């Protein structure tokens, strides 16, 4: 519904779905993996964290990856995908207003 065009462009819209949806799934896997690492390092206690032997820099990287995968990417990535797929339409809209 948020795409330009009419019902005759169904093939084009399916093409965009076919590469946009796996990209969303890829970043969902990112979030799930970093959530698991965060649970192992920070939630289960210092004994489990010591057995994993992560350096403080690696622990900061896990925290950053978790924040990206949990807070930022799920809300920003659909917008970025839409803008990339419809950049010609957005350019047309910008030039039409001037």
CA distance linking residue 27 with residue 77, whole number of Å: 9
- pLDDT tier for residue 77 given thresholds of 50, 70 and 90: very high
Domain extent at residue 59: 16-97
Residue reference for tokens 């659909």: 78
Residue 62 lies in a domain: yes
CA distance linking residue 79 with residue 76, whole number of Å: 5
CA distance linking residue 24 with residue 33, whole number of Å: 14
φ, ψ (nearest 5 deg) of residue 54: -80, 140
Of residues 14 and 78, more confidence is placed in 78
Residue 66 lies in a domain: yes
Number of domains in the chain: 1
Write down the pLDDT at residue 80. Answer: 92
Residue 79 lies in a domain: yes
Residue 9 lies in a domain: no
Residue 1 lies in a domain: no
- Mind listing the pLDDT tens digit for each residue in 11-34? 667 777 888 889 899 999 999 999
Residue 54 lies in a domain: yes
């Amino acid at each position: 519904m948020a795409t330009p065009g009419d019902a005759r462009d169904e093939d084009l819209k399916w093409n965009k779905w076919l590469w946009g949806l796996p990209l969303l799934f890829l970043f969902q896997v990112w979030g799930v993996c970093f959530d698991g690492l965060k649970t192992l390092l920070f939630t289960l206690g210092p004994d489990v964290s010591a057995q994993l032997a992560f350096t403080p820099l690696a622990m900061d990287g896990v925290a950053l990856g978790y924040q990206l995968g949990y807070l930022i990417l799920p809300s920003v990535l659909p917008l970025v995908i839409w803008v990339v797929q419809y950049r010609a339409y957005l350019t047309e809209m910008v030039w039409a207003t001037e």
